[in-house]
């Protein structure tokens, strides 16, 4: 690999193109480690920082969509979109004659696909919850039938666990802004739900547990 400082082709594309061509030609076999940035820099007599900057510049231009045809003049470079709907990255194979493949852009889900995903997720949630409620009694009977002894957690254990959980949540809220935002919303929701269940579901459940069915 050699770099021509007088060539109109930018150095970063000269490096990328020649390295890609070496892969495509079989110079580097599948699974073989590519040369490190320092080794490559020594080989082509370029500062290691220049090698790093070359690849960084190529990646940034690809991500921003600012690569122009002039950037590829004199090199064997193929542009490709990352893949099908919903994908944001891919690793396509180099084919004979290609020096380097640059993935540009991404395909987002259309409104129709998003609606399909939302509908499927909603259906899966309802079905999962229904199966959970319907199958638990039978599972409980199997446990008891096999001789398993069932006991409630002691109150002091529950209180200790609750106290430690609250302390951990508080610690996370102080160190993780993303956690704090989600947890605050969840905490408010849980408080309101707990109030509702205290006066509705809990009273009904206590009554039903005392009935002989």
- What average pLDDT does range 166-188 have in this prediction? 93
* pLDDT > 80? residue 145: yes
DSSP secondary structure code for residue 93 in this structure: P
pLDDT beyond 70 at 58:
no
pLDDT at residue 53, rounded to an integer? 73
CA distance 15 to 37: 11
User: Range with the lowest mean pLDDT among 46-60, 70-84, 121-135?
Assistant: 70-84
Question: 63 or 187, which is more confident?
Answer: 187
At 7, is the secondary structure helix, strand, or coil?
Answer: coil
Q: pLDDT value at position 66?
A: 64
What is the pLDDT averaged over residues 39-52? 78
What percent of the chain stands above pLDDT 70? 62
Whole-number pLDDT of residue 168: 95
Q: What mean pLDDT, rounded, does the chain reach?
A: 75
CATH fit for domain 11-103, picks 1.10.10, 3.40.50, 1.10.3470, 1.20.1060: 1.10.10
What is the C-alpha to C-alpha distance for residues 186 and 75, in angstroms, rounded to an integer?
54
Question: Distance between CA 213 and CA 189 in Å, rounded?
Answer: 34
Give, in order, the Cα–Cα distances in Å from 131 to each of 12, 39, 135, 143, 173: 57, 59, 6, 18, 34
How many other CB atoms are found less than 10 A from the CB of residue 53? 14
What is the pLDDT, as a whole number, of residue 77? 44
Under the banding of pLDDT at 50, 70 and 90, the label for residue 83 is very low
On the question of pLDDT at 100 being above 90, the answer is: no
**Alpha-carbon Rg of the chain, whole angstroms?**
30
pLDDT tops 60 at residue 204 = yes
- Is residue 18 a contact partner of residue 4, using CB atoms and an 8 Å limit? no
Secondary structure of residue 200 in the 3-state scheme: coil
pLDDT band with cut points at 50, 70 and 90 for residue 199: confident
Q: What is the mean pLDDT of residues 22-48?
A: 70
> What's the confidence (pLDDT) of residue 181?
93
Q: Which long-range contacts (CB under 8 A, 24 or more apart) does 148-156 make?
A: none
Integer CA distances (angstroms), 152 to 107, 112, 211, in order: 51, 48, 20
pLDDT surpassing 50 at residue 115: yes
Q: What is the per-residue pLDDT for 153?
A: 93
Residue 192 has pLDDT above 70, yes or no: yes
pLDDT at 20: 58
For residue 179, with 0-12 CB atoms within 10 Å meaning exposed, 13-18 middle and 19 or more buried, which class applies? middle
pLDDT at 164: 96
């Amino acid at each position: 690999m050699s770099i021509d400082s007088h060539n109109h082709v930018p150095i970063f594309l000269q490096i990328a193109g020649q390295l890609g061509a070496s892969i495509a030609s079989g110079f580097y076999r599948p699974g073989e480690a590519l040369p490190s940035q320092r080794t490559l820099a020594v080989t082509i007599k370029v500062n290691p920082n220049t090698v790093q900057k070359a690849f960084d510049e190529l990646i940034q231009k690809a991500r921003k969509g600012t690569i122009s045809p002039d950037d590829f003049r004199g090199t064997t470079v193929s542009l490709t979109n990352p893949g099908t709907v919903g994908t944001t990255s891919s690793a396509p194979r180099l084919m004979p004659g290609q020096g380097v493949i640059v993935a540009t852009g991404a395909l987002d889900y259309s409104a129709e696909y998003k609606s399909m995903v939302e509908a499927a997720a909603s259906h899966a949630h309802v079905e999962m919850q229904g199966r959970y409620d319907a199958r638990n009694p039978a599972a409980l009977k199997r446990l008891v039938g096999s001789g398993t002894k069932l006991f409630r957690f002691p109150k002091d254990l529950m209180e200790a666990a609750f106290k430690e959980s609250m302390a951990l949540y508080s610690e996370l809220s102080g160190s993780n802004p993303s956690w704090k935002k989600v947890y605050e919303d969840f905490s408010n929701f849980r408080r309101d739900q707990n109030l509702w269940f205290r006066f509705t579901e809990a009273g009904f459940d206590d009554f039903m547990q005392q009935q002989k069915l």
